[in-house]
Structure 1
C-alpha cells in the first residue's frame, strides 16, 4: 500500500469488523477540523454532466494524496499527513468564471473528465481556508442524472447507494473517499497500474439488486475475495451517520 495512505488503510482495517453505528469518529475541536476543498466547475451556460463531474472529483482527491509532493520530505507532506491522521473530510464547493480561475492559483490538482473539471486542493484547517474557497457555495446547485454507458474494462468502479439521495457536492465528497480508501488497500503493483491510467475511475449509481449483492456482510472477506469495500458516512451533513454511501470495487483488466 502507499506509505502516504497508510494511516487511512490502518484505520479502515480497524473498522472492518465494526457495526455501522460504531464507526463514527470523535468530533474534533472546531478550530482543529481539517478538510480537503474540492472545487467543482459548474458554468451556468455549459454545465457538466453529473457522472463526469463525480469521476473527476474522485480522481482529483486521490491525485493530491499520491502526488510526489505529498511524499515524505515533499512540500505537501505535512498538511496531507495531518489530514489523513484524522477524519478525511472534504468541503465541496462550486465555482464558475473568475472564481474558478482564482482557485487555480491555490495548491492542488485539476482533473478533467469528459469536459467536466474539478480541482482538489491541499487540505487545511477549515477555519483557515483561503477566501477564494470560503466565498464559494454549493447549496442550490445540482445536476440531473445522466446515462454514462458501460464501465470500461478494468476501470475501478465507485457505486453510489441507490437508496440515498445526495447533492452533487455530497456525492463528490463520497466518491473521493471511495477512491482514497481503494488506493489505501491496494498492493503496490495494483496501485502502479492505476497510476499509469491517471487514477481514472468510473462512477455509477448501483441498481438495487447489484447493491444488495455487493454489500460487505463480512467486510474483511469481501475485500480479500471480491476487492469491494464500503464507504460509511460520518453523518455530519445530509445523511444519517453510518450510512453506506459508496461501494468501491477494484476490477481486473480481464
Structure 2
C-alpha cells in the first residue's frame, strides 16, 4: 500500500492551521503531515506542536516554491499531497484525488471553478494560462496554477531542480510532467475563501504572472513559441520589402533587419530546445 505525505507550505497561517490540521488528521489519520513554516512570525510552530504535527521552520522567508521543495525532500511517503496552509482546500477532496492514482495517473490536480477564483483579474489570468498551456501541450489543462495536487513522489522529485522558489511551482511541475509524458488529470474542487490576508501583491507580482506565460512555453517546447515569432518577423520583412520595392524600387534596411531578426529568433528557439532537453535529462540522471 502506498504511504502518504501531506505537505503544507505556510507563512503566518496560524489561525487557518488551527482549524485545518484537525480536519486533515481526521480525513487522513495515517498520513504523514508536514507543515513547512516559511519564516512565519506568528504562532505557526506552536499550533503545529499543539496538534502533534511536524513543522519545518525557516529563519526567514524563502518563498512558496522553496517550502514545497523542502517538504518534498524530507517526506517519506511514496505519494505526495500538496495543499495551501490558508484553509482554502478541503481535506475531504484528497480521497477523490487519490482514486485517480489507480487509473494510472502520476499527478492529480484540484481544478477550481470560476467561483473559487480570487477575483475577476486572477480568474481571467488563470483562464488564459489554461488556454495557452493546453495549446502548447496538446492536452486539456483545467487549472494550471492550482496549489492543491497529488503526485507520485519519485516522479515529482525528478523536477525539484526546476522548481522556482516563488509562487509558480504549480506551473513548472505541471509542464514538467507533460514534457516527461507522465499522465496528469484534474478533479473539480471548490476552494473556500482564504483565512487571513493573501501574500500575493498584484503590482509586485504582475511581472511574475507575465513571465509564467513564457515559462509555459520554455518548459514544454520552446520552438512552439519561437517559430511563430520568427515567422512574424519574416512575414513583416516580406511585406515591408514588397511595399518599398513597389513604391521606391529598392530594398530597405528595415526589411533586412526584420529578416535578420527572424533568423536570430529561430536560432534562439533551436538552442532553447536543446537546453530544455538537457535540463530534463539532468533531472532523470540525478
When the two structures are superposed, what TM-score results if normalisation uses the length of structure 1?
Answer: 0.26
* Greater share of helix: 2
* Greater share of strand: 1
When the two structures are superposed, what TM-score results if normalisation uses the length of structure 2?
Answer: 0.24
Looking at CA atoms only, which structure, 1 or 2, has the larger radius of gyration?
A: 2
